[in-house]
Amino acid sequence: MPRKEIPFVRALRLRREQVPSFSRYPFSLPAVRGLDELGLLEDGVTFFAGENGTGKSTLLEALAVRLGFNPEGGSDDLRFATVEQAHSGLSEAVELVPGDGLAADGFFVRTEGLFNLATEIDRQDEEMEAIAREVKKRSGVVMAGYRPMNVRYGGGRSLHAQSHGEAMLALLSHRLHGGGIYLMDEPETALSPLRQLALLSVMHRLVRGGSQLVVATHSPILLAYPGARIYRFGEDGIEEVGYEETEAYRVTRDFLEHRERSLRTLFSDDADDEQ
Ligand SMILES: Nc1ncnc2c1ncn2[C@@H]1O[C@H](COP(=O)(O)OP(=O)(O)O)[C@@H](O)[C@H]1O
Ligand SMILES: [Mg+2]
C-alpha cells in the first residue's frame, strides 16, 4: 500500500496566470503555450506521441512531480536524487483534476533514471543485509520477512546484472502491481520488438487491474494498445489523433512497405556525390 494517497487523474490543467513568461522554456514549447486542459483516461492508457523535442517528457515530468514522484523516476517507496538539476518548473503552473478513485500503487518509469534506480535498489539491499548481519551477530536473531528490493524490482537479480532491456522489462513486470497510476517515458527504449509485445501484455495486465497509464512513446507497437487515447505533440500544440495518424505508425509502415524506395531517397545525395 502507498505511504500516501495518490489520486487517479481526470485531467491536467495549465494555470496560465501562474506562467511567468511564455517566451521561456518550458512555457515557450508549443505544447505548453497552447495548453488549457488535457483530459486523461482514468482507467486506461493515454499516450503522448510526436516528434523529438516537442515537450512530451517535460509534460510527463510535470505530471509526475505534481503526483509526488521523484522527477528522475521511481515511486514514493523509492525516492532518490542524484542530479542537482531540478525539474523544469512547469509543475508549479500545472494543476491536476483528480478522478474518482485513489491509486494503490504508483511508479514513474524513466529510461534515463534506470541506472540510478538500479544502484539505489542494490544500495538498499546491501544496507539491509548489513543490518541483518549485525543483528544476528549481536543477538543471534535472524531477521526474516524482509523481501529484498532486487526480488521486488528485478525478479531476484540485480538490475545491474541484466541487460538494459531485460532490466526494464523485469522492473515493469515485477514492480508494477496494478490498481495504480503509472507514468512511463519511452519505456520501449532498449526493448526488442518481441519484448515490446511483452510490454503490451504487461500494460494490459495493469489496465485490467484498474490502472491508469500515461506513456510517452515512439513505438508503433505500444501505440497500438486498443482503446487508448493518443495525443500528438507538435509545432501546433497538442491534438488527439487516431493510431494510424501517428508519425510512428506512418513512417514505420511506409518504410517497411517501400524499403528500397525509401533507402534510395535517403541516400540519393551520396549517389550524386559519386557521379
Ligand atoms: N532544461 C532545459 N532548458 C531549456 N530547454 C530545454 C530543457 N530541457 C529540455 N529543453 C528543450 O525542450 C524541448 C522539449 O524537450 P522534451 O520535453 O524532452 O521533448 P520530448 O520528450 O518530446 O522529446 C527540447 O527541444 C529541449 O531542447
Ligand atoms: Mg522525451
**Cβ(58) – ligand 1 distance below 6 Å:** yes
**Cβ(218) – ligand 1 distance below 6 Å:** no
Domain contains 126: no
Domain contains 191: yes
Question: Could you give the number of structural domains in the chain?
Answer: 1
**Which residue reads 525478479 in cell numbers?**
155
Q: Which ligand is nearest to the CA of 61?
A: 1
Q: How many A from CA of 203 to the centre of ligand 2?
A: 20
Domain contains 169: yes
Domain contains 243: yes
This prediction has a pTM of 0.86
CATH number at residue 248: 3.40.50
Range of 43's domain? 6-112+163-258
What is the rounded distance in angstroms from the CA atom of residue 10 to the CA atom of residue 18? 21
- The closest-lying atom of ligand 1 relative to the alpha carbon of residue 48 is 22
Q: Please report which confidence band the pLDDT of residue 100 belongs to, taking 50, 70 and 90 as the band edges.
A: confident
Long-range contacts of 36-41, Cβ-Cβ distance < 8 Å, separation of 24 or more: 37/11, 37/12, 37/13, 37/97, 38/11, 38/12, 38/13, 38/231, 38/238, 39/10, 39/11, 39/229, 40/9, 40/10, 40/11, 40/12, 40/212, 40/214, 40/229, 41/212, 41/228, 41/229
- Phi and psi (nearest 5°) for 72? -85, -5
Domain contains 128: no
Q: Please report which confidence band the pLDDT of residue 2 belongs to, taking 50, 70 and 90 as the band edges.
A: very low
Question: What is the mean pLDDT of the segment spanning 132-159?
Answer: 79
Question: What is the mean pLDDT of the segment spanning 143-154?
Answer: 74
Domain contains 136: no
